[in-house]
Structures are given as structure tokens and as C-alpha cells.
Amino acid sequence: MGNIYAGVDLGGTTVKLGLLTDEASLIRKWEIPTRKDDGGKQVIPDIAASIKKNMEEEGIRFSELAGAGLGVPGPIRQDGYLEVCVNIGPGMRDMNPVKDLSGLLGGIPVKGGNDANVAALGEMWQGGGKGYRDVVAVTLGTGVGGGVILDGHIVAGSKGMGGEIGHMVMDWDWKEAEVCNCGNRGCLEQIASATGIARHARIFMRESDRPSVLRDLQRVTARDVFDAAKAGDGLAEDVADYCMMYLARAMAYVSQVVDPEIFVIGGGVSRAGQYLLDLIKEHYDPLIKLTRGKAKLALARLGNDAGIYGAAKMVIDEREK
Ligand SMILES: [Zn+2]
């Protein structure tokens, strides 16, 4: 069958895995739980065993495995050294999961990256950024994630945390009363994540007595906000507009630094679709003055598979170097 690559997306609760060819065809994908007992020491051995087992079930000889890519939810350096993986446990601290996985897979090339960056690479390869080489991916989920791809390669930075746009402080007026997960206050994530949008809906409702369909809901979600905004609910429109204005400002800052061809917007909030893109564009375009051409905006296409694709692509590129 030729060269087969394993793409691994390690998350706090599940590990998503896939077997791909270098032509990007996904032969098989599956998930295993992230085993946290022993502080997460079993996670990498579980991954290696699961890859072997699934190759066997697929009838692929182990010798055809040409490499594996690994996305991890933490700061991972180019050499594979991982400082900490807070979502998993102390067994994944000050260690090298890349070397460990390579050793368990017979010494094949393994390449590691931060999960958000790896997902961005996946979207560039086979998703919303397909056909482009300079791509910034923005994930609006529980938090705000980001990944910068320049000339087809992840901009990982010195500690593997390049593209971490969710913790750019955007609210310098200190309107934000709560402290972000990272310890700062006024981070983009506190405004433009699904959680941030829902929280701002509550703040907007508290601060005025304007009527809104959102007031009838027990627990407002970002999805409710966008559904109501699309239906013309004034308060919901204002919440969506406020939150996406901050996102657009952050994207404009990113643009001035890395000048992407396209932003790919993913995560749960991106289900708001074209309405969301139009709203971001309305705030983003006027901030870009130095060039006539503005970066394009597109929706992510790979969903939860982006990390698998990106991880495989990372090691394919490494081998072709
Ligand atoms: Zn933060």
C-alpha cells in the first residue's frame, strides 16, 4: 500500500487517531479514552498499542508505517520536549512524548506539535484553508484557540505556543471583572469563545431591560445568541456584534504581524456560518488599511478530524525535508 502515516490528536478525555496515506486519504479513524491513572503515564503506550492493533485489523503490515504525528494539548518544543500537559496529569510533565512514541513504534519518525497548531495545519492541508500556504486558524469553542501557518509550515515559536491568540488581552478598559483561566483579565477568550459570548449575553441582559427572546431561556448559549441575532433580536445582535468586534480586532493585529491569505474559523461557534463570517468581516476589513486586498475568511471544514490530518501532514513534511 505504500507509505502509511498515523495522525494522533491527544486530548484531555479522548485520543483521536487516524491512518492516512501521503495523498491524504483517511484509511481509518478511531478514538480511545485518555487513560489518566498513573498521572497519564499510560497515554503514550496506549497510543502505540492502539496504532499497531488498528493497522493489524486493517490488514496493513507494520513495516508500512512511515511516521506518526502527535498533537498535544500543551507547550511542546521542536525537539519534542513537553513542559506540562495540565489537562492530563503529572505523568506528562517534563518528558518527551515524541521520543517515547517513536521508541514504542520501532524508531519511526514522529513529529509533535501543539494541538491548536496541528489542527490549523490540517485545515490548511485538507480543510477550509486548502489551496493556501499562509493561513491563520481561529477556533471558537469553550476557549479561543489559534494556529499560524506560514509558507505551509506551523509557526510553533520557541516554546511551541505560537498562535495562542485566545490570551491576547483585548479589553484594556478593565470592563472585565473576571480573571481568565490563564491568570490575565480581558483576554480574547473571555469575550469571543462560546463561553464568553454566553456570558456577555447575560451581562447585556443584566445591564439593560431591553426585551429579548434570550430572557425566556433558562441557560443562554452562544448558539442561542446567534440564532436570535439571525432572527433579528436586537439585544442578541448587539451581543454578537460586540464579541465579534473584539475578535476582528485581534485578527487585525495578527494580520499586521503575519499577513495571512486567509483566516479559517472553526469550533462550535462557527456553526453560525456565513452570518458569523459577515459579522467578523464587517469589523475586520476597515482595520486593514495598508493593502487593498484583505485576508479572506472561511469556515473550517474538518471538524474534530483536523488534528488527525494535521498531525499526519506534520510528519509527512518532516520526512520530505
Ligand atoms: Zn487568558
pLDDT along the chain (321 residues), means of 10: 90 95 95 92 97 97 97 92 85 93 97 95 98 97 95 92 93 86 92 97 96 97 98 98 98 96 97 98 95 93 97 93 77
- Compute the distance from residue 146 Cα to the ligand 1 centre, in Å: 13
Structural domains in the chain, sorted by start: 4-121+305-320 (3.30.420.40), 131-301 (3.30.420.40)
Predicted local distance difference test score (pLDDT) of residue 292:
83
Span from the CA of 171 to the centroid of ligand 1 (angstroms) = 11
Q: Which three cell numbers stand for residue 229?
A: 441575532
How far does the centroid of ligand 1 lie from the alpha carbon of residue 47, in Å? Answer: 31
| Dist. CA 145 → ligand 1 center (Å) | 11
- Please give the pLDDT value at position 120: 97
CA 127 distance to own-chain centroid: 13
CA of 176 to the centre of ligand 1 (A): 12
143 alpha carbon – ligand 1 mean position (Å): 9
**Distance in Å, CA 125 to ligand 1 centroid:** 29
Output the pLDDT for position 174: 77
| 69 residue type, one letter | G
- Can you list the alpha helix ranges (DSSP code H) found in the chain? 43-58, 97-104, 115-126, 189-192, 194-207, 222-230, 234-258, 273-284, 306-320
Please name the helix (run of DSSP H) or strand (run of DSSP E) that holds residue 289, with its range, or none: none
Residue 111, Cβ density class (10 Å: 0-12 exposed, 13-18 middle, ≥19 buried): buried
pLDDT of residue 244: 98
* CA 167–ligand 1 middle distance (angstroms): 4
